[in-house]
Amino acid sequence: MEKIFQFIRSQYPDENPIGLHVPRFSGNEKKYLEECIDTTMVSSVGPFVNRMEIDLAKYTNAKYAVATVNGTAALHIALQLVGVKKDDLVITQSFSFIATANAIHYTGARPYFVDIEEESLGMNILSLQILESELEKRSDGVYHLPTQRRMAAVVPMHSFGMPCEIERIAKWCEEWGIPLVEDAAESLGSFYKGRHTGTWGKVGVMSFNGNKTITAGGGGVILTDDEELAKRAKHLTTQAKLPHPYEFIHDEVGYNYRCPNLNAALLCAQLEYLDDILEDKRNLASEYARFFEEFAPNFRFVTEGNFKLSNYWLNSLIFENSEYKEEFLKRGVELGIMVRPAWRPMHMLDMYKDAPRGDMFQTEWVYNHLVNLPSSTRRR
């Protein structure tokens, strides 16, 4: 165990304590922030917001990108865009950050949790196939027979930046006619068969929280190829205000979810050297992989697998023995090296313990055996 911590220290010699994922600012961040202040464009209208949208659409190859205050807000809107309503069910994985289920809850729908697969840490296609016997296609959608609720969307998540089996999941959604909303909050820079995560479904979302690969401080984006949905996303995120030279007219209940120019400025600066950051993160992941192969071959360092390119947002290690995980986390705290467990699966939390769900075998196994390792870029 000590050798692992020594190895981590060797990667971050100037850091104490060593964080899990700390942001680095070495480009035009200060210049762009000053520009916002000098022009007084600090709020939700400004050139950096527009530029952030153009840059993200270009990078991900999505037709449209709509900037939001954070990833949770993006997800909340994305679900509404595909028609999720009160009392619907939304299929998602229990193994995710709480925001995934919370956004479903905000719409008045309920999550239906499915298992993940140990290999990709993402939604298990088998769990969807098992669920088929409980589904029925009707004129107004697909219904879940035991609860008599409509299955309104499927929300897979690319855990720690590792692409899930998105092609198969997208195909399943198409066959059933259930909209796919990708939670790509963690996976800017991650691709499956050359196609960016977050662009496989009707709508995808990303987060630019301070802990992500690059950050806006707080920020998010909605990605879609559908012009009407993009227009509606912008409308809903800007209080549903109708354009008018001076009147304030709103045609439905909207949200104050637009990304401020200040945050967009930070992100635009970071986007300029995203490729450098991703390259360094890939190098770090290969160094971790080599280290574990040599010194601890019985631990599984999680790698991207076939057809996938991961951003390696957070590197993950799986121990054979769950007690070892606890010891490892405690020792990390003593040494000031931030290693951390995965999120407690949502079906184990008070708010969601009664949500309908399938088998959670792999979700619970992974939760009991996985830790995340420090993964910040080493470039400044």
Ligand X SMILES: Cc1ncc(COP(=O)(O)O)c(C=O)c1O
The 3-state DSSP class for residue 198 equals coil
To ligand X, the closest distance from the beta carbon of 14 in angstroms equals 27
To ligand X, the closest distance from the beta carbon of 160 in angstroms equals 9
Dist. CA 298–CA 333, nearest whole Å: 23
H helices present in 107-207, as ranges? 125-131, 166-176
Tell me which residues in 220-239 interact with ligand X (CB under 6 A). Answer: 220
Its sign, for the CA torsion 39, 42, 43, 45, is positive
165 forms part of the interface with ligand X (CB under 6 A) = no
Q: Which stretch, 25-33, 38-46, 70-78, 271-279, contacts ligand X (CB under 6 A)?
A: 70-78
Q: Which stretch, 94-102, 105-113, 246-254, 320-328, contacts ligand X (CB under 6 A)?
A: 94-102
As a whole number of Å, the CA-based R_g of the chain is: 21
Dist. CA 188–CA 190, nearest whole Å: 6
Tell which one of 8, 21, 33, 70 touches ligand X (CB under 6 A).
Answer: 70
Dist. CA 93–CA 115, nearest whole Å: 6
99 forms part of the interface with ligand X (CB under 6 A) = yes
Dist. CA 153–CA 136, nearest whole Å: 14
**Total residues at interface with ligand X (CB under 6 A):** 15
Tell which one of 60, 93, 100, 375 touches ligand X (CB under 6 A).
Answer: 100
Tell which one of 190, 207, 270, 372 touches ligand X (CB under 6 A).
Answer: 207
Dist. CA 143–CA 135, nearest whole Å: 6
Dist. CA 119–CA 303, nearest whole Å: 9
Tell which one of 92, 120, 197, 209 touches ligand X (CB under 6 A).
Answer: 209
Dist. CA 198–CA 218, nearest whole Å: 19
97 forms part of the interface with ligand X (CB under 6 A) = yes
153 forms part of the interface with ligand X (CB under 6 A) = no
Q: Which stretch, 71-79, 83-91, 112-120, 123-131, contacts ligand X (CB under 6 A)?
A: 71-79
182 forms part of the interface with ligand X (CB under 6 A) = no
185 forms part of the interface with ligand X (CB under 6 A) = yes
Dist. CA 350–CA 95, nearest whole Å: 15
To ligand X, the closest distance from the beta carbon of 21 in angstroms equals 11
157 forms part of the interface with ligand X (CB under 6 A) = yes
**With respect to ligand X, which residue has the nearer C-beta, 4 or 66?**
66
**With respect to ligand X, which residue has the nearer C-beta, 150 or 270?**
270
Tell which one of 41, 44, 48, 72 touches ligand X (CB under 6 A).
Answer: 72
**With respect to ligand X, which residue has the nearer C-beta, 181 or 268?**
181
Q: Are 74 and 216 in contact (CB under 8 A)?
A: no
Dist. CA 271–CA 253, nearest whole Å: 33
Residue 218 tokens read as 């707080």
Question: Cα 197 to the chain's mean position, in Å?
Answer: 10
Phi, psi of 257 (to 5 degrees): -115, 10
**With respect to ligand X, which residue has the nearer C-beta, 4 or 373?**
373
Angle between helices 322-335 and 2-11 (to 10 degrees): 50
Tell which one of 29, 88, 115, 183 touches ligand X (CB under 6 A).
Answer: 183
In the bound state, the residue with its beta carbon closest to ligand X is 71
DSSP run (H or E) holding 139: none
> By the criterion CB under 6 A, which residues form the site for ligand X?
70-72, 75, 96-97, 99-100, 157, 183, 185-186, 207, 209, 220
